[in-house]
Amino acid sequence: MAITTDIVKAIAWLEQHPVVGTAILGSLGYTAISILRAIYRSIKNTSPHISPTFWTLGRKFRIAAVLKYLPSGDPSGYTQVQHSRPDQWQELISIKSSLCNLHHRVCPKNKEDVLAVIISRNGKENEKVINFNR
């Protein structure tokens, strides 16, 4: 019963002080919306970059391409070489699966290579990028 009387007292106080009450209610609403947006952004994970370790059910991931960057005299400093077929990119990376093909790790075969792996983790999501040595 004490909680309901406290709520009634708080509502009565807000009615007696409309300017302060409006400021308090506005800041509470703004805070609630900000917290909900932060939770939504963390769940949505809109970043195009992912870590080399990921989880899938089975081997449903799809590698679109592996980009190898070679040093050059260009202003960018690198020349990009694309490897799209599995027989090409298997020379550059290996995929180690564990826990009954649920946990996967993408590993470059040469630790010094500058690579970008374009991958779709479940075969349906938008493609993400895994960078090595960049």
User: pLDDT by residue (tens digit) across 81-124?
Assistant: 888 888 888 888 888 888 888 888 888 888 888 888 888 877 77
Cα–Cα nearest to 53, from 107, 100, 134: 107
| Host domain of residue 95 | 54-128
In sequence order, the β-bridge partners of residue 117 are 66, 130
pLDDT of residue 1: 58
- 88 with 33, same domain: the answer is no
**45 in a structural domain:** no
**22 in a structural domain:** yes
- 23 with 79, same domain: the answer is no
Cβ–Cβ under 8 Å, residues 93 and 40: no
pLDDT of residue 30: 92
Q: How far apart are CA 35 and CA 53, in angstroms?
A: 28
- 77 with 28, same domain: the answer is no
**58 in a structural domain:** yes
Domains in the chain, number? 2
Over residues 50-63, the mean pLDDT reads 80
